């Protein structure tokens, strides 16, 4: 637009004569960015920047890698890519001397030393060192799971979790133990397994100082001290500290007995009961009384025998204070 003889008229760029007039017009019109994209109307300060930008719309990738043939829209992206082939890492950390092929990777790495976490969650104020971590974290609040499994359609909040899940379908276990050649789907599982060989137990209970190889084992153990019973029976409201205890209990309601004896076909609700029963057939009696050296197939029978031999009475009635060596005798008396 231009004022002529007191009247405002529409003037196109082509109506302006002379390069200086056009340059002056475009610099005022676009605040120093004279070159405008015809697709999205974004403005640029140079024709070269506009040309580069246009490749977003055209998909043009004129810079090809001579090693692998991969193409790029920008020359500097090609330069960074070639370092994959040359191994060139010109950016080094002044703290630990670790080297990087691109500057942005160094900037991100430095936050490990400085503790800087510039990306903050607006919902819970938790902060992160990298933007990608924040984006992934936000899905905790939104419930978004944009990565579906093509096999079972189960969805995940991040690519890493999906990749791990896929291995349950493919059976791919890329992480191999150097000691026993056992393979694992994730590096974390391998690390945990290696403690079987090293004997390392890094997870310590603050209550009794007992140590564990795995964190989840410590968490489970802590319920002994806290009395936590997070697993509830939907039938009778009975609570349990462990999931497997709830599963075993549910068979009381369902009547299910999945553990069958191969000798006599007798069935049991729990695997431990089947193992104890099998000793009848094998005649195995691994529990020896320290007093009379009699052998028993069950530890409960051993405990009863030792009470008989030592005279220890553990079960006392609430009415007459009479004591019994075994609980069944107490129940009969009452």
Q: Are 294 and 288 in contact (CB under 8 A)?
A: yes
List the one residue out of 162, 164, 157 whose CA is nearest residue 143: 157
Contacting residues for 224 by C-beta, under 8 A, at least 6 apart: 241
CA gap 140, 231 in Å, rounded? 23
Verify that 277 and 300 share a domain, yes or no: no
Pick the last residue of a domain from 95, 114, 133: 114
Q: Are 199 and 209 in contact (CB under 8 A)?
A: no
148 three-state secondary structure: strand
pLDDT along the chain (334 residues), means of 10: 35 40 43 82 91 91 92 90 91 91 92 94 93 93 94 92 92 93 90 94 92 91 92 91 90 92 90 86 86 84 81 64 60 58
CA gap 39, 248 in Å, rounded? 65
Inside any domain, residue 68: yes
CA gap 330, 307 in Å, rounded? 14
Q: Which two tokens stand for residue 196?
A: 């079987």
H helices within 228-270, ranges in order? 243-254
φ, ψ for residue 53 (rounded to 5)? -60, -40
Count of the separate structural domains present in the chain: 4
**Amino acid 282: pLDDT:** 85
**Amino acid 38: pLDDT:** 92
Inside any domain, residue 45: yes
Inside any domain, residue 314: yes
CA gap 53, 40 in Å, rounded? 10
Verify that 297 and 277 share a domain, yes or no: no
108: domain CATH number is 3.30.160.60
Inside any domain, residue 93: yes
> Cα(first)–Cα(last) distance of the chain, in Å?
106
Range of the domain at 298: 287-333
Residue 70 CB-half CA count within 13 A: 13
DSSP bridge pairs for 156: 147
Verify that 80 and 103 share a domain, yes or no: yes
**Amino acid 111: pLDDT:** 93
**Amino acid 317: pLDDT:** 62
Inside any domain, residue 8: no
List the one residue out of 88, 89, 81, 76 whose CA is nearest residue 65: 81
- Tokens 């017009």 locate to 25
How crowded is residue 81: how many other Cβ atoms within 10 Å of its Cβ? 18
**Amino acid 273: pLDDT:** 87
- Tokens 């104890």 locate to 276
Q: Are 210 and 198 in contact (CB under 8 A)?
A: no
**Amino acid 323: pLDDT:** 65
**Amino acid 200: pLDDT:** 94
Pick the last residue of a domain from 80, 98, 114: 114
Inside any domain, residue 97: yes
List the one residue out of 209, 187, 213 whose CA is nearest residue 198: 213
Inside any domain, residue 84: yes
H helices within the chain, ranges in order? 19-29, 47-58, 75-86, 103-114, 131-142, 159-170, 187-198, 215-226, 243-254, 271-282, 299-310, 327-333
Inside any domain, residue 177: no
Q: Which two tokens stand for residue 142?
A: 């939104």
Verify that 267 and 293 share a domain, yes or no: no
């Amino acid at each position: 637009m231009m004022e002529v003889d007191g009247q405002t008229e529409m003037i196109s760029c082509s109506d302006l004569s002379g390069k200086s007039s056009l340059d002056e017009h475009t610099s005022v019109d676009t605040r120093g960015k004279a070159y405008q994209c015809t697709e999205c109307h974004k403005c640029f300060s140079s024709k070269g920047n506009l040309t580069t930008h246009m490749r977003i719309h055209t998909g043009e990738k004129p810079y090809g890698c001579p090693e692998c043939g991969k193409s790029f829209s920008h020359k500097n992206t090609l330069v960074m890519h070639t370092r994959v082939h040359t191994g060139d890492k010109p950016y080094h950390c002044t703290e630990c001397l670790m080297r990087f092929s691109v500057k942005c990777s160094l900037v991100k790495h430095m936050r490990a030393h400085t503790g800087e976490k510039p990306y903050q969650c607006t919902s819970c104020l938790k902060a992160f060192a990298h933007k990608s971590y924040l984006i992934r974290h936000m899905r905790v609040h939104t419930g978004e799971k944009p990565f579906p499994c093509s096999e079972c359609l189960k969805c995940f909040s991040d690519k890493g979790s999906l990749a791990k899940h896929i291995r349950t379908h493919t059976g791919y276990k890329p992480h191999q133990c150097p000691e026993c050649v056992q393979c694992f789907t994730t590096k974390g599982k391998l690390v945990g397994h290696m403690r079987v060989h090293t004997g390392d137990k890094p997870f310590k209970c603050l209550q009794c100082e007992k140590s564990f190889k795995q964190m989840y084992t410590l968490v489970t153990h802590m319920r002994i001290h806290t009395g936590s019973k997070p697993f509830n029976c939907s039938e009778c409201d009975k609570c349990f500290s462990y999931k497997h205890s709830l599963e075993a209990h549910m068979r009381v309601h369902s009547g299910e007995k999945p553990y069958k004896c191969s000798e006599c076909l007798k069935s049991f609700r729990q695997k431990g009961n089947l193992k104890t029963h099998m000793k009848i057939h094998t005649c195995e009696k691994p529990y020896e009384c320290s007093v009379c050296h009699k052998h028993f197939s069950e530890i409960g029978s051993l405990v009863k025998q030792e009470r008989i031999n030592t005279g220890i009475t553990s079960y006392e009635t609430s009415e007459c204070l009479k004591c019994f060596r075994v609980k069944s005798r107490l129940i009969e008396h009452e």
